[in-house]
Amino acid sequence: MKVNGRVVRDPDHWIDMARDRVRLDGKPLQPRERVYLLLNKPAGYLTTYRDPQGRPTVYDLIADVGTFVSPAGRLDLETSGLLLMTNDNQLAERVTNPISHVPKTYRVKASTRLTDEQLQQLRDGVELSDGLTRPARVALVRDTETHTQFEITLTEGRNRQVRRMVEALGAEVLKLVRVRIGPVGIGTLPIGKWRPLTRAEVRLMKGA
């Protein structure tokens, strides 16, 4: 590899792609175009590239994107909703790193009717096997005789966190949909479909 006409063999050599001229095998090296997309993941799809058991993955749904992108965070098999996919590793790290506290909002259907006190427990923090959860925003959507639907916004990303929090209340999650990451919501995007983020959404996400 040559940088500004000089051969560089040090793998830790710092390169400024905005100022340095880089050639690899005699050809100019260009920064790749950044791609940002939102996928409305259906339940039953894995957030992985390939499954040894042959189950469907989110990559089956984005075959027409034209370049490789990775999920910024994951949704478990039975969770649906908003999945951010990108080749911008810096943004993906910002979205997924617990230090960033990027809020993520989920729509939840519980297997029982939750009381006001139980919803307040979710807001205040629930003791799990890996410690007390951070305070959350919780808004009641509606009650039926047997179920409660609510939205919860978390600023941490523990494994199966929403399901475990509801289980700690003595209920189970019947349906779980992520509807928002930071400033970007899923809107009217049909399930199983994807769309690129707008420039404004990318700017907002980078500032989240």
pLDDT per residue over 148-196, tens digit each?
999 999 999 899 999 999 999 999 999 999 999 999 999 999 999 999 9
Residues 60 and 122 in one domain: no
What is the pLDDT, as a whole number, of residue 105? 98
Q: Are 205 and 184 in contact (CB under 8 A)?
A: yes
Which tokens hold the place of 6? 């000089």
What is the pLDDT, as a whole number, of residue 16? 66
pLDDT(6) > 90: no
Residues 112 and 151 in one domain: yes
Residues 160 and 200 in one domain: no
Residues 107 and 51 in one domain: no
- Catalytic residue (choose from 20, 51, 60, 76): 76
Query: Residue 15 sits in which domain range?
Result: 1-31
Integer Rg of the chain from CA: 21
Residues 90 and 41 in one domain: yes
CATH number of domain containing 68: 3.30.70.580
Cα 42 to its chain centre, rounded Å, is 14
Is 64 tagged catalytic? no
Strand 80-86 to strand 173-181: parallel, antiparallel, or no bridges (unpaired)?
parallel
pTM of the shown model: 0.84
Q: What's the domain count of the chain?
A: 3
